[in-house]
Amino acid sequence: MPPPVVGIDLGTTHSLVAVMKGERPELIPNRFGKRLTPSVVGIDKNGQVHVGESAKNQLVSAPDRTVMEVKRIMGSSQKVSLGDRSYTPQEISGFVLKALKEDAERALGEKVVEAVVTVPAYFTDAQRQATKDAGALAGLKVERILNEPTAAALAYGIDHLDKEQFVLVYDLGGGTFDVSVLEMFEGVLDVKASAGNNHLGGADFDQAIAEWLMQAAEALGLELRNDAKAKARLKVAAEAAKIELSSVMETHINIPFLGVKDGEPVSLEIDLPRETLEKLLGRHLESTLKPIETALKDAKLEKATVAEVILVGGSSRIPMVHQLLEKFFGKAPRGGVHPDEAVALGAAIQAGLKSGAIKSGNSIM
């Protein structure tokens, strides 16, 4: 057996690693048993590097020793200062990749030295090269850089290569929104056009909900605008409520001892129905239709010509996203894959083709 080649989704907010198990791609859980590793790097008081959940946990208490969203500056000459040193974006991403590599090695019980790593379709050569360099720093040979929408299409099983067709990939993540139109032709999946909004994603939705909670707290007489810790707790509660409302119609938010009024601790307890959430997020979500129109126009396509709409990114799990897209395209988006896992699974499929773990058959090379 050749050593496994893993597939890695190196995301702005989360990263994932997957591998082929027989004929199917499978996610590899991290050291905490989670499939998603926050793309956050922190250095603790002893100079020890932390990646993921433990780094995310020190964001509020040690912001000067913690960095997130480094993907936004990949390929630039900007430096990141962390504790008493500064790092290149490649070094920071390298820490994330190294953690994923180690988690994969632990789970698979063997060395991992090669990976397929995904990047947004719009990444420049410099950004792609920086991503490869990050891999090298982590001890990984980046065998191939794959476009995220292409990876997602692979995961959704877009492999009817006999047909010539167009698919649209709608990727709403933690901090970015990307839409890509792909053409399938003679065995090749080609990105024809891409558009999006580099500053729209789940973090904005959390912010909108946290602001709504802040107003509820103010109605109780709490003044928290200068209280970083209270604001961080509102954000955490906001994200949890948002995620829950993707599967239930109403959620109850309870934040004990959020602040103090007249010397007494005050807790915040409030119901958040999905309807209210949709009012808070509606404007943001409706704004994603515009880049879709732009991408279709650039690809010289009518929306009726799109054979499949593919959902990617954790935020595309919001039911209102499905409703908006179904209304816009006149058909439901393709289902069957967890949208936040699709890119990593597709990267593993590509990696499997390379290492011979699956037969290339009629799949996309």
List residues near ligand ADP by CB under 6 A: 11-14, 36, 173-176, 201-203, 239, 242-243, 246, 313-315, 317-318, 340
Instruction: Please state, in angstroms and rounded to a whole number, the distance separating the CA atoms of residues 301 and 219.
Output: 50
Q: Binding of Mg ion at residue 38 (CB under 5 A)?
A: no
| Catalytic residue (one of 71, 132, 192, 242) | 71
* 11 contributes a contact to Mg ion by CB under 5 A: yes
3-class secondary-structure state, position 329 = helix
Given CA atoms 247, 279, 289, 211 in this order, what sign does their dihedral have?
negative
- 177-185 vs 165-172, strand pairing mode: antiparallel
**Interacting stretch for Mg ion, rule CB under 5 A, among 52-60, 168-176, 188-196, 265-273?**
168-176
Say whether 340 is catalytic: no
Concerning whether 9 is annotated as a catalytic residue, the answer is: yes
d(CA 113, CA 345): 18
Please report the beta strands in the chain, taking only residues with DSSP state E, as ranges in sequence order.
5-10, 14-21, 24-27, 37-38, 40-43, 49-51, 66-68, 80-82, 85-87, 114-119, 141-147, 165-172, 177-185, 188-197, 250-261, 264-273, 306-312
> 115 or 258, CB closer to Mg ion?
115
Per CB under 5 A, 175 contacts Mg ion: no
Name the active-site residue from 171, 178, 206, 341: 171
User: Other C-beta atoms within 10 Å of 339: how many?
Assistant: 24
Active-site annotation holder among 91, 143, 148, 239:
148
Nearer to ligand ADP, 35 or 354 (CB): 35
Instruction: Residue 18: name its binding partner from ligand ADP, Mg ion, none (Cβ under 5 to 8 Å by kind).
Output: none
Q: List Cα–Cα distances, 342 to 191, 242, 338, in angstroms.
A: 17, 21, 6
Task: Tell me if residue 71 is catalytic.
Answer: yes
Site size for Mg ion (CB under 5 A): 2
The distance of closest approach from Cβ of residue 232 to Mg ion in the complex, given in angstroms and rounded to an integer, is: 23
173 is a site residue for Mg ion (CB under 5 A): yes
- Tell me the catalytic residues: 9, 71, 148, 171
Which residues contribute to the site for Mg ion (CB under 5 A)?
Answer: 11, 173
